[in-house]
Amino acid sequence: MRVMVSEALSDHDMEILREAARILKNGGLVVFPTETVYGLGANALDERAVRKIFEAKGRPSDNPLIVHVAEPAGAEKVAFVPELGIELMKRFWPGPLTLVMPARSVVPEEVTAGLKTVAVRMPAQRIALELIRLAGVPVAAPSANLSGRPSPTDAAAVEEDLGEKVEIILDGGSTSFGVESTVLDITGERAILLRPGGTSLESLAEFFGYTPLQAGAGAPVCRRSPGTRYRHYAPNVPLFLREDESVWGKVAAWEPGERAYIGIRPPAVPFGCVRLFPDVQTYARCLFSVFREMEKAGAKVIVADWPEEAQVGLALRDRLRRASGGSVSPE
């Protein structure tokens, strides 16, 4: 069931959130909006509930989940929070920064995929925060898409992928970032960026006074995010990246009417469908929904512009690389 909820949190909205919180407490699944993408949530301390997430998504069970909390104190219940974690939370929470920290034993293996660490974040979205607060439990939630598909940035995309598999979809409109949170491992001496995302590497570098090492760029293998091994975020038609101008030759095999283009710079050859964005933030926000849109419109091939690496461009490059089937880390 899909229900509209607004961030204004009217009495009616609160009633719906109380019902959704009850579902979570009773071991059910609730889809909720965050500032990044929609999440498929379950009580993080209930292993049976968490198992339902993996079933609904068709997700490999060795890919751990992010635990969502409504306040920094919530993180202490699932993780041993180091001093550095407290400082990071003060600076970046609520917001799209997930912290990987040593896990407490209350966190079931289903959440951590057997790792000794747990990933925790506090989303900057009032509906999400109120839901977690009302449920009174930490909420484990991956993106609410079928495994491998583009992450959902609106409730319609969730319905497409998960439909009847969840009890309630809280429809809070389109998400504001469009790419997932940044995942940062703070268990070692130096922070390691496991997944670039909504919190920029530049802002983390400013905080630390050094640029965190990026997984795959010389970071030890055991400190990589398990999820980065999989092909992800992919539309169901071939995707080529405009890393250089050889891309036009690669798509010449398709008729112009079958070709779709997404990006900031206009394409150099004719395309049946062209979606251009004024800046990299808007490109990132719209990427996943435009993938789905283009598939539905019958595109047979998609070309995506290659953005500058600065700010959210780093995360956008990562998602594009994965969506095109290319490997990001050397494994």
Regarding beta strands 192-195 and 213-214, do their DSSP bridges make them parallel or antiparallel, or are they unpaired?
parallel
Q: Under the criterion CB under 5 A, does residue 181 sit at the interface with Mg ion?
A: no
Q: What's the burial of 329, exposed, middle or buried (CB within 10 Å: 0-12/13-18/19+)?
A: middle
From residue 129 to residue 168, the character string flagging contacts with ligand TXA as x (rule: CB under 6 A) and all else as - is: ------------xxx-------------------------
Q: Under the criterion CB under 6 A, does residue 42 sit at the interface with ligand TXA?
A: no
Q: Under the criterion CB under 5 A, does residue 200 sit at the interface with Mg ion?
A: no
Q: Under the criterion CB under 5 A, does residue 228 sit at the interface with Mg ion?
A: no
Smaller CB separation from ligand TXA, 34 or 43 = 34
Residue 115 CB, shortest distance to ligand TXA, in Å, is: 5
19 and 32 Cβ atoms separated by less than 8 Å: no
Regarding beta strands 66-68 and 117-121, do their DSSP bridges make them parallel or antiparallel, or are they unpaired?
parallel
Whole-number Å distance between alpha carbons of 187 and 42:
25
Q: Which residue among 125, 181, 200, 289 contacts ligand TXA (CB under 6 A)?
A: 181
Smaller CB separation from ligand TXA, 35 or 305 = 35
Q: Among all residues, whose Cβ is closest to ligand TXA?
A: 227
Residue 257 CB, shortest distance to ligand TXA, in Å, is: 34
DSSP tag of 5: -
Contacted by 212, from Mg ion, ligand TXA, none: CB < 5 to 8 Å by type: none
Q: Among all residues, whose Cβ is closest to Mg ion?
A: 143
Residues 217-246 that bind ligand TXA (CB under 6 A): 225-228
Residue 329 in tokens: 């880390």
Residues 129-148 that bind Mg ion (CB under 5 A): 143
Whole-number Å distance between alpha carbons of 311 and 291:
22
Whole-number Å distance between alpha carbons of 244 and 254:
19
Give whole-number Cα distances, 88 to 93, 94, 128, 303, in Å.
8, 10, 20, 37
Smaller CB separation from ligand TXA, 115 or 146 = 115
Q: Under the criterion CB under 6 A, does residue 289 sit at the interface with ligand TXA?
A: no
Q: Under the criterion CB under 6 A, does residue 36 sit at the interface with ligand TXA?
A: yes
Q: Under the criterion CB under 6 A, does residue 118 sit at the interface with ligand TXA?
A: yes
Give whole-number Cα distances, 203 to 37, 43, 180, in Å.
21, 31, 16
Smaller CB separation from ligand TXA, 5 or 301 = 5
Q: Which residue among 17, 20, 65, 135 contacts ligand TXA (CB under 6 A)?
A: 65
Strand partners, 276: 263
Nearest in space to 230 (alpha carbons), one of 65, 98, 62, 114: 62
Smaller CB separation from ligand TXA, 142 or 172 = 142
Is the Cα dihedral 275, 281, 285, 288 positive or negative? Answer: positive
Contacted by 112, from ligand TXA, Mg ion, none: CB < 5 to 8 Å by type: ligand TXA
Smaller CB separation from ligand TXA, 5 or 119 = 119
- 22 CB-side CA count, 13 A: 6
Residue 95 CB, shortest distance to ligand TXA, in Å, is: 10
Strand partners, 103: 79
Question: Under 8 Å CB-to-CB from 116, ≥6 apart: which residues?
Answer: 102, 103
Residue 228 CB, shortest distance to ligand TXA, in Å, is: 6
Tokens 């997932």 sit at which residue? 180
What is the three-class DSSP state of 305? strand
Residues that bind ligand TXA (CB under 6 A): 34, 36-37, 39, 63-66, 96, 98, 100, 112, 115, 117-119, 123, 141-143, 180-181, 183, 194-195, 225-228
Residues that bind Mg ion (CB under 5 A): 143
